[in-house]
Chains A and B, each alone.
Chain A
Amino acid sequence: MAACGTESNGLLERTRMGNLIDRVSGRKRSAISAKERLQLVLIHDRTDLTQTALEELKDDLIAVIARHVDIDPDAVRINVERNGREQRLVADIPLKGVTHHRGG
């Protein structure tokens, strides 16, 4: 799923606390589910970008880049990150190491 890169510390603290409560109660506290679900829903509402569209975009991007450099398609990550009211498409594309041929 699209991860949010710029979470507030508040959520992290609350998530950590929530995790503790989850472990004790065996159930995720509802405020944490609410926030996580809203983060994903709002990205979708704001950008009109579905998970399927994001996957298609990723495949196209891989095809184009692979024409120029050697990449591992399985290692490519594409996420929508949120910063305030701004959404940003972030692609992480590791390049394969070039095999150097040593002269014999």
Chain B
Amino acid sequence: MSAKIVTITSGKGGVGKTTAVANIAVALATNGAKVCCIDGDIGLRNLDVIMGLENRIVYDIVDVIEGRCRLRQAMIRDKRLPELFLIPAAQTRDKTAVSPSDMVRLADELRGEVDWVLIDSPAGIERGFRNTIAPADDILIITNPEVSAVRDADRVIGLIEAEEKNKPSLIINRINPVMIKAHDMLSAEDVLDLLAIPLIGIVPEDENVIVSANRGSPIVLNSKSIAGMAFRNIAQRLEGQEVPYLDLDNHGGLWNRIQRIAGKN
């Protein structure tokens, strides 16, 4: 077993990093893979509540790094999927408690344990971001079709290019087809054209995302949700499958147009 380490990052906060990590992890684990998520946002722990595992935490990432527990002890088993685990962030420490080389060591130890390691990055481009980027084999950039989120995503892509990492892939989250049709929201093609990196997913805005966060039950577990379907598709693309993009505007042309633009990059 040699896990692939995937980090999800965005620059800007509140665009859906934690939701994406939880949902892609659940989707991969549902497909039969052994998955471990790491909450890299030290001091602002959140992945545990999104996954509904907040009451099971005993040890956290800083406990592992500082040797107060073994790796296995800090891996909280999901209550629904026995092959899904979470290593929570420390809540009472800050990002300086962990260094990029600590993260590389931790991820390398996990490589032998699971198929996938998904790392949730904090907002910003400082130490916490560097910590989560350091061990990544692949990086997913998540953004919203908003000027501030796209600008920050571009900055983060530039920093990742400078680190000579693999070229990151893009998730465009919270697409609202009605606003796009009214020319009041950047379309997925606009965002893709501006950021010019390969696409891996388009997730429509879906109020069920808030409902599932309230319940601590990731939306991919809801078979009727379109956002859930979009996250399941991202998981399949990560596994190397070719999955067509959802037709969000019911016009049938979106996929063709995206393919045309994606082909240019």
Contacts and interface: CB of A to CB of B under 8 A. Distances in A.
A29 to B, nearest CB: 4
A84 B197 CA distance: 8
A10 B189 contact: yes
Interface stretch (B55-63, B122-130, B149-157): B149-157
Interface in B165-183: 180, 182-183
A34 to B, nearest CB: 5
Contact of B194 (A21, A29, A42): A42
A31 B187 contact: yes
Contacts of A29: 182-184
A92 B193 CA distance: 25
Contacts of B186: 31, 34-35, 38
B154 A45 contact: yes
Top-6 shortest CB links A-B: A29-B183, A84-B196, A8-B193, A85-B196, A31-B183, A10-B189
B13 to A, nearest CB: 19
B154 A34 contact: no
Contacts of B147: 34, 37-38, 41
Nearest to A10: B189
B257 interface: yes
B185 interface: yes
Interface-centre pick from A11, A21, A29, A34 (highest chain B CB count, 10 A):
A34
A41 B149 CA distance: 13
Contacts of A39: 194
B183 A30 contact: yes
B151 A35 contact: no
Interface residues of B, number: 28
A1 B177 CA distance: 32
Interface of A: 8-11, 14, 17-18, 21, 29-32, 34-35, 37-39, 41-42, 45-46, 84-85
Contacts of B183: 14, 17-18, 21, 29-32
B12 to A, nearest CB: 14
A43 B23 CA distance: 34
Contacts of B158: 45-46
A39 B154 CA distance: 11
A46 B162 CA distance: 12
A52 B146 CA distance: 27
Contacts of A85: 157, 161, 195-197
B256 to A, nearest CB: 11
A30 B264 CA distance: 26
Nearest to B158: A46
Contact of B151 (A18, A30, A41): A41
A20 to B, nearest CB: 10
A46 B154 contact: yes
Contacts of A84: 196, 264-265
Contacts of B205: none
Interface string B189-206: 110011111000000000
